[in-house]
Amino acid sequence: MKDGFLRAAAVSPHVTPGDTKRNADEIIAHIKHLSKEGVALAVFPELCITGYGCGDMFLHPSLTAAATRELTRILRETAPLDILFYVGLPVIDGGKLYNAAAACFGGAVVSVTLKNHIPNYNEFYEKRYFTSANEAKEGFASSSLIKLFSKNTDTGSEAMVGAEICEDLWMPAPPSGILAGSGANIICNLSASNAVIGKDIYRRDLVKSQSARLICAYIYANANRGESTSDCVYDGQSFIAENGVILAESKPFSEGAIIADIDISRLNRERMVMTTFENIKNEIPVISLSMQKREYGKLFRQFDKHPFIPSNNSELEKRCEYIINMQSYALTKRLDSIHTGKVVIGLSGGLDSTLALLVAVKAFDILNISKAGIIAVTMPCFGTTARTKNNAEKLAKAFDTDFREIDITEAVKIHFRDIGLDENDRTTAFENCQARERTQILMDIANMEGGIVLGTGDLSELALGWATYNGDHMSMYGVNSGVPKTLVRYLVGYVKSISEPDTAAVLEDILATPVSPELLPASEGAQNTEEIVGPYELHDFFLYYFVRQGFSPEKILRIAEIAFKDDYEPEIIKKWLKVFIDRFFAMQFKRSCLPEGVKIGSVSLSPRADFRMPADISRKFLGDL
């Protein structure tokens, strides 16, 4: 280590869950390349030999046996190389399964670190498979520090390396604190942390601040889109930080390695200077204060009207770009997995289907395949306006997609006769028959073309149950299911801002079109969704604070009156909050069988990710407003 520098790498290989041989090939290729680049220490993602997203297959003996077999091959093929590297795999000991990090050098495993904190919330189910290191038998769970040094090295430039795994970093007392207090000046983190709105910023700050707090180098290697499956997408965000400074970081949704030279001697000196940096053994006293419950009138704070939308314009643009990337890369993974280059979209000329089309276009560009594989179908009926129909056609043709128009009016009338429904009947069946006919057409075209139907419904509609069961409620993959309605508008607006003039003009008119299901005859007046179920900006506010924050309806009403004091009278807010609560509980049965769709932000209603609620639960525990 000349001048105290150590060259390190965080690697994000393309991992395929379950394909241990291919994963091992990727790991071996990276190690050989990095060794040529002079890298002394390399860190790979969590469970990279098997893939993080193997679900219940972690409990299958064949998978753990394959992981062990491929680790042996990795050790054999990298034995001659002068490089220390960490790889992740499941390990069985004493009849228990552990999430482990194996430190490898010279053809042998020199240390094994077990994951301490096993997440079992939101989209994580690790306790279903893995046991915490805290429960392992004595000796097996102890992680070793690894001293890296070379002959004739500079004084004070010895590297002491320790590891923790993903969730461990996010805890109040991370293992890295103990490791650093014991002498580690490099912390390696093997991670499989999925992408969620805002998580990239928080994750970066967490790594940066932890390296500063521990006066260490922190190498964070994260899984990328190869792990993206079902409701989660991974972006490969990796970092190498040194004492509060990011030395290297990967671009979102990238693969490969980032490399940096860590100044070990500088870190060791900083620790000497900071005399409070020590392993404190004394217990910290706790002081308890008994306080009376206080009732406040006016709150001396403000609440953002749009919790899903960044208030800073420059941040908003970055957020929009990132979200569309999340949606698009998630779709590319699904298309890769099922080996198809075709998607079918019901294009109405409204905001949601427009966003779905934009996401599909981006995904096809990423995959570098013809956009003729995007089959956009518009299906006019009783309430379809010339404005939306024309916009759908213009948009599809602007992106060179396969555009088809199928008028469903006669088919729906035949269905009315088949089921004995009067054409003048304006009950729910009149509207839902149209939605289900459209879905039938999309599904059948997908079968004919060997593609999948993209769902266009958004998160706000899922919360309200504003979808026809087994109609637009159903698809083969829902790219918008994690995007609230207020954010849909900004995403479409962002694409408009970077589009050619002709395309931007179409998007501008779509943005200016009132949200409507267009199911009733135009002669009877235009349907306006927000007049029927309420303003989406209110519902998104309610959704965020009810699901994400767990606030009571009374508290939500109170802060909504503060946030929207210049927009709505209190009785109007209360009216729509009641509608939200009633519909949210009554429509859970629709959410219980949702198609898969990518999780985007901190609120998800997928039954496979964050939200689990029986469809028959009573809402009486909430009381009355």
Q: Which residues are catalytic?
A: 46, 115, 166
C-alpha to C-alpha distance for 399 and 395, rounded to whole angstroms = 7
Nearby residues of 440 by Cβ (< 8 Å), 6 or more positions away = none
- Spatial strand order of the sheet with 477-478 comes to 402-405, 374-378, 343-346, 452-455, 477-478
Tokens 């795999």 — which residue? 89
Evaluate whether 167 touches 119 at the Cβ level (below 8 Å).
yes
Radius of gyration of the chain (CA): 27
Q: Which of 272, 274, 245, 284 is nearest to 261 (CA)?
A: 245
DSSP per-residue letters across 283-315? PPP-----------SS-SS---S-TTS-SSHHH
Phi and psi torsions of 374, nearest 5°? -90, 110
User: How far are the Cα atoms of 333, 475, 624 from residue 27, in angstroms, in the given order?
Assistant: 20, 36, 58
Residue 248 parent element (H or E): strand 245-249
DSSP H helical segments within 421-535, as ranges?
428-449, 459-464, 485-497, 501-512, 529-532
Tokens 């001293």 — which residue? 147
Q: Taking the chain, what is the end-to-end CA distance rounded to the nearest angstrom?
A: 68
C-alpha to C-alpha distance for 183 and 161, rounded to whole angstroms = 9
Nearest-10 Cα torsion for 227, 27, 68, 145: -100
Tokens 């800073």 — which residue? 312
Nearby residues of 28 by Cβ (< 8 Å), 6 or more positions away = 73, 74, 77, 78
User: How far are the Cα atoms of 165, 254, 310, 334, 555 from residue 304, in angstroms, in the given order?
Assistant: 35, 33, 9, 35, 15
The three-class DSSP label of residue 537 is: helix
- Between strands 186-191 and 159-165, the pairing is parallel
Residue 328 parent element (H or E): helix 313-338
User: How far are the Cα atoms of 4, 46, 261 from residue 217, in angstroms, in the given order?
Assistant: 13, 19, 10
Residues in the chain: 625
C-alpha to C-alpha distance for 240 and 207, rounded to whole angstroms = 8
